[in-house]
A and B are shown apart, each in its own frame.
Chain A
Amino acid sequence: MAIVGITALVPPEIVYATGNIPIDINNFVPKSGVVPRDKLCAWTALWRDLTLMGQIKLDKLVVVAGGDCNNALVDGEKIELSGIDTHYFTYPFDGDPQVMRHEIDKLLEFLGGEVDESQFKIVTDLKNAASDIDSERTAMVVKSSDAFEIMVSGSDLAGSLSGFKDKIDSVKKEGASGDFRLALLGTPPIYEDFHGFLDSLGLHVVYDEMPYEFLRLGGKSLDEVTRSYADYTFARNITHRITLLKSELQRRSVDGIIHFHQFACHHKLEDPILREALCAEGYPFITIEADLPSVTPQQTRLRIEAFKERLGDL
């Protein structure tokens, strides 16, 4: 059993089914308190430095080197050069399931080859339970900050199947309130208090785009997992992604959109495309760009508060 670091979404079903434990090393970044030595994106630079400093202890590393996070490749190589057994995983841009299967087969080989398919059902059941939390926050039963904590752990199921279940079971269902229902598109915020800040303003997040992908994708067999992850919208072309976004925005009765991206991230370049496509659907849209981890800066707070005032004036 090896501790396998993942730099972005790597099917946790596969990691657990091969008897290993996935750890999403991004989850160490927001509270790291470390300033990276050199960087483009703070996420990749910080998980790189934290791993090289020994603050994240890994037996193996899977770098998502194509699709999703395109800055990870070199920072992953730096970790590989330090001696950690590293594999590079790529999503097919066109969603071709045969290419996806080839990538999953290579991943299986890296992780040991033997597959215990019974793990797929356990992971699926946990993801379904986490999806119920997502539904309950959309129905104003669960606070969005509490739901986000569960959903964002969906990439590695908190590194512990039993621990993730306990985490889900402990969510308080005391009801939520909010003046407006927001969608949070793009990368999850690097500001650790962002959802709590939105809650405090009466802005209830009903859709966290990427964490929803963590839970949406999965399957009870290798074939199902392959087909499902080939549909990972963050790794596909933007038109495919926008189709899912429109559907979720409507389904969740969203009042406004925050597009959150990182400085020096290729997703930043998608901002005008998303803005144009979703504003045309009538959604008010604000872009928040972040860099280093911290609590939500005053300038960002100002923007969000102004966005709320604008929503109130519509």
Chain B
Amino acid sequence: MTLYGFDVGSRAAKCFNSETGGVEIADSHDWRDILPKGQEIISTGYFRREVPNIFNLTEITAAIYGVSYLLDSEVDVILDIGGQDTKVIDTTTNEFRMNDRCSAGTGTFLEFIAGYLGLTLSEMGRLHFQAKRAASINSTCSVFAHTEAISRLVEGHSKAEVVRGVHIAFARKISQMIPPDSYTIALIGGTAKNPGVVDAFSKVLEAKIIVPENPQIVNAVGAVQYYLQKGL
């Protein structure tokens, strides 16, 4: 039997084959479609107990082991931006913080804005770099930031400038959770695939942002690594 890491979060399900390195991703509601049959599964994510597993752990611990395994260099902080929450894990103190009472610092916020602008998330990433300036978005609330985005468009800003402003507002909101003196930050989760977000974080935090090759599957990889390293 093969050992699989299986991460089912609020938006996406990720399956990692520890032997081949193969990855499958599906909508979280369709996680059963990518569930390997008759295999040993280490599960993580909000739905980890729904998934048949031989062991399960939280995505916070999985992120620590996944980042440690996938990155050559050590980082001060792991920033995991999920669909419904954002997790900041201080690897120097083993502490973590989560934002789950406000959508402004989660992937859902960017989806909301992208939907209003009629853009896909990958188009948001491309447009970010086309803007010569960022529209000013100051609100730290999704709804008010949306209102501000409309105001900026009315004032004559381009979509690209609004997108860039939204990414910067997003990074500024999350930066409040980052401990001071954080110089290297691993950015993981599906949102990290948006290069505009990565650029915004590097500017707002003035820190080195490291994104693993496939940031969305870090926790699935980490789940397997935890299991193996603990000798469970």
| A279 adjacent to chain B (CB < 8 Å) | yes
Inter-subunit contact A287/B97 (CB<8 Å): yes
Given known A-B contacts A284-B94, A313-B94, A306 and B58 have beta carbons under 8 A apart = yes
Inter-subunit contact B61/A309 (CB<8 Å): yes
Inter-subunit contact A309/B60 (CB<8 Å): yes
For A306, list chain B residues within 8 Å (CB). 58-61, 96
Inter-subunit contact B46/A279 (CB<8 Å): no
Closest to A304 in B: B58
Interface string of B162-187 (1 = CB under 8 A from A): 00000000000000000000000000
10 A-B contacts, Cβ less than 8 Å apart?
A263-B101, A279-B93, A284-B95, A286-B96, A291-B101, A298-B46, A309-B61, A310-B60, A310-B61, A313-B61
| A109 adjacent to chain B (CB < 8 Å) | no
Complexed CA–CA distance, A309 and B64 (Å): 11
Interface string of B56-87 (1 = CB under 8 A from A): 01111100100000000000000000001100
Q: Which of B's residues lie within 8 Å of A, judged by CB?
A: 46, 57-61, 64, 84-85, 93-98, 100-101
Closest to A307 in B: B96
| A305 adjacent to chain B (CB < 8 Å) | yes
State how many angstroms separate the Cβ of A229 from the closest Cβ of chain B: 34
Q: Which of A's residues lie within 8 Å of B, judged by CB?
A: 263, 279, 284-287, 289, 291, 298-299, 302-303, 305-306, 309-310, 313-314
**In this complex, which of A286, A291, A310 has the most chain B Cβ atoms within 10 angstroms of its Cβ?**
A310
For A305, list chain B residues within 8 Å (CB). 58
State how many angstroms separate the Cβ of A40 from the closest Cβ of chain B: 15
Given known A-B contacts A309-B57, A309-B60, A309-B61, A285 and B95 have beta carbons under 8 A apart = yes
Complexed CA–CA distance, A26 and B56 (Å): 37
